[in-house]
Structure 1
Amino acid sequence: MTSTAIVPPDTTHQRQTRSPAKRPRRPMPAVLVVPTLLVLVAALGYPVGWQVVTSFQHFGMMQQFGQPPEWVGLSNYTALLTDPNLWVIVGRSLAFCLVCALVTVAVGLALAILMYAVGRGPRVVLQVALLLAWAMPVVASMTVWTWIVNWRNGLLNWTLERVGVDAQGHNWLVDPISFFVVAAVIVVWMSVPFVALSIYAGLTQLSPEVLEAAEIDGAGGWQRLRHIILPLVAPVISIVLLLQLIWDLRVFTQVKLLQDAGGVANETHLLGTYIYQLGTGAGDFGMASAVSILMLVITVAVSWYYVRSLMKEES
């Protein structure tokens, strides 16, 4: 009498091919986002919507006293796009933005690496100095800077005279080139602390074992920086670079106060000061709104590549 062994059916293939059960989507995360969206719409939606509508109108001084605005359609945009002066200002703003953002990130990266390399004492001193520079109000710091570059009794001319350079009575704000050099130095000085502290925070997250292994393998300081440190902190550098591009494109206070201190406004306008001149200065809020929408489009275009990268990573 022979016995037949009962072989259980092979369910391995069935388990492998069975699709995993999808978790039901919970509505709570979306519900928690709703209050934030409402705040953003309330705080930003109305001003942006008002600017969009006003950019299609003739909205001048009379409209501020109750006269209904006149709908002009695309006339404001047509006048702007055919104005060669606007494109000079746009090019000037983009060049100023790129130079300031790149220099800021480069200097901030160097200071972050310095803070990462030195001991605790010098690092604390450097961090406190950066925080004090960053915390200083813009108007207060601009008061000091305008005194430094003052052509009558400024510290810059006084120092140059002491080292043998004839700078007596030289006005650094009259010439557009020296004006933007001064403005770029001020903007970079105000922005470096944020970049340096942000990148340093990224450096503190690096694994010491990785750097020690690279050093044991014979990698020098420059090789560790180029092939290990910079690639690991590249996401932090990219986000601070994007933020600097946006902030430096919208710079206003520093340039406006330097213009008031002696700069020639018509030769040193950026987009921010040009919008201010059209709106508050000339009372043409329709044209000012059109330039504001153009500036918003340029800002989105500058930051779109990085935003698209973030969306791909999330998906």
Structure 2
Amino acid sequence: MSTPPDVGPVVSAIEGERIVAPEPRQTGRRATRRAGSFTPYALLTPALIVLAAITGWPLIQLVIMSFQEFGRAQVFGAPPEFVGLQNYIDILTDDEFWQVLSRSVWFAAICVIATMVLGILVALLMQRLGKALRTLVSVGLLLAWAMPPLSATIVWGWIFDTQYGVLNYVLVNWFGLTQFEGHSWLIDPLSFFFVATIIIVWGAVPFAAFTIYAGLTQVSDEVLEAAQLDGANAFQRFFLVVVPSIRSILVIVTILQVIWDLRVFTQIYALQSIGGIAEETNTLGVYIYRVSLGSGDFGAGGAISVLVAVLLMLISIYYVRRNVKEEEL
């Protein structure tokens, strides 16, 4: 006869002539929740207060501003006028907004794919290198990762400079491609985003490479050796053994890269200042800046910011749910 799951082992103690049975003991998740139900919230409270002060209040102000006519006059003290959903209607019916959104999505997709491919390749390379060379590669990645985005953009801008750029010099004098003499890489939108992609991917690869390399170190060598003994080649071992083992890491890194590349600002704005055409190369971050400060329409800029925040929040919710599911397994 089986014992109920919430009752301990049936053991009796005899006190004189009276038989005393042990009381049922609480086991499982209910007892654990009662024991430490308050502690997690107490530990999270300071961080929640800081986030509410730094992020929550400005976000609330942004949402309120998106429902108002807030221009230069309101900056100098004039009372804002409540316009309801008019800012959102104006933005969603503006062809330029949809062009910028489409351009930003395509640009982010290309950057994310390039970053993930190069990050995986660099991580695999680091796994195969010896200790000395791995340390050298790690130092180089850290230097690239530590460089501020504005400084990196200025350096790459010198490389692609029209008159004194290293790239034009090499193409003309080393390879004889005279059509690149005095060539401007930033005037044409396609070559502009080619340069921007190089800068952004160059700065993002170190994070992806380090994170994926950390995941690769956790892949079981015994499983890889078993797959090799079964006749699996290098590609089969990677896609059938390694990728499933680090799938959660790949998903998390990909989602983070999508979020970061959709809201990129510094690199695009700096390249536009060097020589790009803003109207043809705006992305979401730069577009919000130019609508708000350039045109002085902070209400419309707030509406665009709220729409972008909702888009990024949906991506973040997927990331959080994915992370929670991985922890529960």
Fold conserved between structures, TM > 0.5: yes
Contact 2:248 2:326 in 1 (8 A): no
Task: Measure, in 2, the Cα distance between the counterparts of 1:29 and 1:83.
Answer: 46
Distance 1:142 1:16, change over 3 A: closer
- Within the candidate set 119, 138, 157, 2:130 is matched to 119
**1:291 matched to which residue of 2?**
304
Question: Which residue is 1:301 aligned to?
Answer: 314
Q: Which residue of 1 aligns with 2:4?
A: 15
How far is the alpha carbon of 1:273 from its aligned partner?
A: 0.3
Report the Cα offset of residue 89 of structure 1: 0.5
2:48 is the alignment partner of 1:37? yes
**1:193 matches 2:182:** no
Q: Is the 8 A contact 2:152 2:199 kept in 1?
A: no
Unmatched 5+ stretches in structure 2: 8-23
- Kept in 1, the 8 Å contact 2:208–2:253? The answer is yes
How far apart are the structure 2 equivalents of 1:298 and 1:191? 21
Say which of 64, 77, 92 aligns to 1:53: 64
CA distance in 1, matches of 2:191, 2:119: 23
Amino acid corresponding to residue 242 of structure 1 in structure 2: I
RMSD (Å) for aligned C-alpha atoms: 1.6
Q: Are positions 1:240 and 2:253 aligned together?
A: yes
| TM superposition shift of 1:34 | 1.1
Question: Cα deviations across residues 254-303 of structure 1 (Å, max 9, x unaligned)?
Answer: 00000000000011000000011011212111111111001111212334
Alpha-carbon distance in structure 2 between the residues aligned to 1:56 and 1:276: 18
1:272 aligns with 2:285: yes
Q: Helix, strand or coil: the match of 1:127?
A: helix
Q: Give per-residue Cα distances to partners, 1:13-44, cap 9 Å, x unaligned.
A: 23358596330242112111111111111110
From 144, 150, 166, the counterpart of 1:155: 166
Change in Cα spacing, 1:209 to 1:311, as seen in structure 2 (3 Å) is closer
Question: Residues 158 and 77 (structure 1 numbering): CA distance in 2 closer, same or farther, change over 3 Å?
Answer: same
Q: CA deviation at 1:152?
A: 1.4
| Deviations, residues 202-250 of structure 1 (Å, cap 9, x unaligned) | 1112222222222233322222111111111111111110100000001
* SS in structure 2 of the partner of residue 54 of structure 1: helix
Structure 1 residues 19-168: aligned runs within 5 Å: 21=27, 22-23=30-31, 24-26=34-36, 27-162=38-173, 163-165=175-177, 166-168=179-181
Measured against aligned partners, the alpha-carbon deviations of 1:157-211 in whole angstroms (never above 9, x if no partner) come to 1111021112011111111111111101111001000000110011112222222
Q: Which amino acid aligns with 2:288?
A: I
Question: What is the letter of the counterpart of residue 126 of structure 1?
Answer: V
SS of the equivalent of 1:15 reads: coil
CA distance in 1, matches of 2:128, 2:242: 12
Q: Equivalents in 2 of 1:139, 1:314: separation in Å?
A: 37
The alpha-carbon deviation at position 121 of structure 1 amounts to: 2.1
In the alignment, residue 135 of structure 1 is paired with which amino acid? A
List structure 1 runs of 4+ shifted beyond 6 angstroms. none
Specify the alignment match of 1:223 in structure 2: 236
Residue of structure 2 equivalent to 1:5: none
Report the CA distance shift for 1:16/1:293 in structure 2 as closer, same or farther (over 3 A).
closer
Q: Percent identity?
A: 46
CA distance in 2, matches of 1:128, 1:215: 33
One-letter amino acid of the counterpart of residue 295, structure 1: V
What letter matches 2:141 in structure 1?
A: L
* Deviates most, 30-39 or 193-202: 30-39
The CA deviation at 1:312 is: 4.2
Report the Cα distance in structure 2 between the residues aligned to 1:278 and 1:33, rounded to whole angstroms. Answer: 37
Task: Provide the rounded CA distance (Å) in 2 between the counterparts of 1:140 and 1:313.
Answer: 38
Q: Which structure carries more relative contact order (alpha carbon 8 Å, separation 6+)? A: 1
Structure 1 window deviating more from structure 2 (12-21 vs 215-224): it is 12-21
- State the alpha-carbon separation in 1 of the partners of residues 183 and 296 from structure 2: 34
Alignment-derived partner of residue 294 in structure 2: 281
Displacement of 1:63 after TM fit? 0.9
Deviation at 1:64, TM superposition (A): 1.1
